[in-house]
Structure 1
């Protein structure tokens, strides 16, 4: 991800969600920075990394990673829902149907999970 995109995302989530502002922990030390929190959540999304693997690279516990991931997802939906997460209209559906037919995948529009296709980097649970 390019730096300016990351900084824009970070700025957006910090303005909306206080979870992404750095706070002091109970011992009086600074907690995880907003940069660290967003980086961990994005790595989990991008690479399908389990939360417990972040302890080794970022010294963040599994529960904190899961909280951070959930907070980031909820905040992104809250911030960008109206612009990017809208239901397709008829024109959008017609365009998608034409595209799937052109690529010889008729009927794919209703199969958003596409579970019958093997994907090289598809994370498995």
Structure 2
């Protein structure tokens, strides 16, 4: 039922909440969420829906990724996810760990590296456009 509510609220045609609502609540656009969902499902079997011990469908990939993102975006405690998403504290913590490990595995070469000159030039231009000079020197990854 939690999965059905989640899909009805955010992902089905004529969903309850708009794209703007999704972005505000999850700190990203829906298409970015869908890319992350696809990436983690392809790499980590944890994010594929399975049957539980009673033979019922377990938590959906959407539920797992949403829970991980909500915990990170808002610093929500794992035990607060049960009321909305029906996922226990221990499962939320496992999900967050699996999500973070998988994202690092998938995206480390592109995003988790030292900035190259092209990256620095782009950041400097962006900082100047927003009247934030000296931003590069404040990045901890520079040293």
TM-score normalised by the shorter chain: which range applies? 0.7 to 0.9
2:45 corresponds to: 18
Q: Which moved more, 1:40-49 or 1:82-91?
A: 82-91
**TM-score, structure 1 normalization:** 0.73
Partner of residue 53 from structure 1, selected from 80, 89, 102: 80
2:65 corresponds to: 38
SS at match of 1:32: coil
2:111 corresponds to: 84
Runs (5+) with no aligned partner, structure 1: 114-125
Q: Distance in 2 between matches of 1:4 and 1:95?
A: 24
**TM-score, structure 2 normalization:** 0.64
Question: Where do 1:106-121 residues align within 5 Å?
Answer: none
Runs (5+) with no aligned partner, structure 2: 1-27
